[in-house]
Amino acid sequence: RIGTKQSAISRLENDDYNPSVEFLDKVAHALDKKLEIRFN
């Protein structure tokens, strides 16, 4: 669990939503994954 409302997860699935890095990090942590941001 990431401690957020279902509506926030629904917005994440919407193409028009721009989540914060902090929110993405919470999601990654809940999925036991590491958030990695790359610029090429």
pLDDT at 28: 92
- Which of the pair, 1 or 36, is modelled with greater confidence? 36
Tokens of 18: 């721009």
CA atoms within 13 A on the CB side of 21: 4
| Residue 38 reports pLDDT greater than 90 | yes
pLDDT at 7: 80
- CA–CA distance, 17 with 32 (Å, rounded to integer): 23
Host domain of residue 1: 1-40
- Which of the pair, 38 or 3, is modelled with greater confidence? 38
Q: Count structural domains, the chain.
A: 1
**Tokens 């401690």 sit on residue:** 3
